[in-house]
Structure 1
Amino acid sequence: MTEITAAMLVGSLRTGSINQRLARAIARYAPDTLRFRWIEMQDMPFYNGDLEVDRPAAVRAFVAAMQEVEAACIVTPEYNRSIPALLKNAIDWGSKPAAENVWRDRVIAMTGASPGGIGTAVGQQHLRQILAIQSATVLPGETYISFKTPDMIAEDGEIADPEVRAFIAGFAARFAALALRMR
């Protein structure tokens, strides 16, 4: 069986985050061909070109981890109709220097959860634009979750509603299939 190793990048640090729950659900219901490596982003300082001479250890660790995976699943909240600074900062660090851009040719799946009716649709459109500039291959379509009830996804990623579970499993299966095709 051919396996894909994918980064799991979650743009929320909040305790009890619905996006953390969604990420765990994706990992739980993904096909056996998809293995996730959870990569932390919170220890990196804000991008500053002056630090390129001697990159901080957290930046070197993030870039090294991204270089070891074949694909990435980004699960992000939407802040002010965009993506969180945490995620944008990781994209900025990973894109430098241009010759070593960790996003180039990387297969990316994106999703996010919000209590609002349109989920994270606008933030994902912004993320799609940012990743296109980085020459990433983004899974087509939109996958956002309107988190209407507090228990929709349990802390461990368990989903009781069979329709929501099938939707999440389908997203993960499409991601795995695209990553395998692009390999």
Structure 2
Amino acid sequence: MTVRILALVGSLRAASHNRQLAEAAVRLAPEGVEVALHEGLASVPFYNEDVDVEGDVPGAAAELRRAVGDADALLLFSPEYNGTIPAVLKNAIDWLSRPFGAGALSGKPVAVVGTAFGQYGGVWAQDEARKAVRIAGAAVADDLTLSIPASVTRFAETHPVDDAEVTARLVEVLAGLAGRVGVAA
């Protein structure tokens, strides 16, 4: 059985270090694990109950829900914007939390990792993301963490996939998250 992990990146920038970290996860997935990077978060409209109507959900939001529903686990890559979670990631969580009590996150194993410019590697944003997905019903893997500080200098000339310390820790997170599949439900 292959464990399917879906990666959501909280930065829309093409050259984002968090996107590069997610690309590294795709390449480094251990045997029996497949990581897919979800594209399209920029197209998901801000959550609004008036447009979240069964049978008429905006296409990008419906696709996000379907992709998360089809995945065995979710790996969030969060930068830190002004000390907290980026709006695009929070918006995705809001769409995935509905319908209340039966959203795509319900019982889904989720880990949160990331990198940021500051000295703490985005831990505040990652903590906020864990809180939000937990409230949305996910089975949060609090012990599977990776916060990489000083991304601007650390990855100035090196892609995360070429950083031995980062890759070793990322593989540990992927293996740990895959191990939660079937346990969280």
User: Normalized against structure 1, the TM-score is what?
Assistant: 0.89
The residue aligned with 2:66 is 64
**Mapping 1:26-45, distance limit 5 Å:** 26-40=25-39, 41-45=41-45
Q: Is the 8 A contact 2:26 2:37 kept in 1?
A: no
Please report how far the alpha carbon of residue 164 of structure 1 lies from its aligned counterpart in structure 2 after TM superposition: 2.7
Please report how far the alpha carbon of residue 149 of structure 1 lies from its aligned counterpart in structure 2 after TM superposition: 2.2
Question: SS at the partner of 1:140?
Answer: strand
RMSD: 1.8
Q: Is the 8 A contact 2:21 2:161 kept in 1?
A: no
Q: Which moved more, 1:105-114 or 1:24-33?
A: 24-33
- For residue 46 of structure 1, what is the amino acid of its counterpart? F
Question: Which residues of structure 2 form unaligned runs of 5+?
Answer: none
Q: Distance in 2 between matches of 1:105 and 1:95?
A: 11
Q: Distance in 2 between matches of 1:152 and 1:137?
A: 36
Q: Is the 8 A contact 1:5 1:35 kept in 2?
A: yes
Please report how far the alpha carbon of residue 120 of structure 1 lies from its aligned counterpart in structure 2 after TM superposition: 1.0
Please report how far the alpha carbon of residue 37 of structure 1 lies from its aligned counterpart in structure 2 after TM superposition: 2.3
**What does the per-residue CA deviation read over 1:26-47, in whole Å, with 9 as the maximum and x for residues that have no partner?**
2222212211222231111111
Please report how far the alpha carbon of residue 132 of structure 1 lies from its aligned counterpart in structure 2 after TM superposition: 1.5
Q: Distance in 2 between matches of 1:134 and 1:158?
A: 31
Question: SS at the partner of 2:43?
Answer: coil
From 97, 100, 104, the equivalent of 1:98 is 100
Q: Quick one: structure 1 residues 153 and 106, their matched pair in 2 at CA, closer, same or farther if it must change by over 3 Å?
A: farther
- For residue 155 of structure 2, what is the amino acid of its counterpart? P
Q: Quick one: structure 1 residues 27 and 42, their matched pair in 2 at CA, closer, same or farther if it must change by over 3 Å?
A: same
% identity of equivalent residues: 32
1:130 pairs with 2:129: no
Question: Which residues of structure 1 form unaligned runs of 5+?
Answer: none
Q: Quick one: structure 1 residues 174 and 14, their matched pair in 2 at CA, closer, same or farther if it must change by over 3 Å?
A: same
**What does the per-residue CA deviation read over 1:101-135, in whole Å, with 9 as the maximum and x for residues that have no partner?**
11110000110111221001011111111112122
Q: Which moved more, 1:103-112 or 1:32-41?
A: 32-41
**What does the per-residue CA deviation read over 1:144-170, in whole Å, with 9 as the maximum and x for residues that have no partner?**
11224234642xx531x4333222222
Q: Distance in 2 between matches of 1:63 and 1:86?
A: 15
Q: Say how many residue pairs are matched.
A: 179
From 71, 74, 77, the equivalent of 2:76 is 74
Q: Quick one: structure 1 residues 182 and 52, their matched pair in 2 at CA, closer, same or farther if it must change by over 3 Å?
A: closer
Please report how far the alpha carbon of residue 100 of structure 1 lies from its aligned counterpart in structure 2 after TM superposition: 3.0
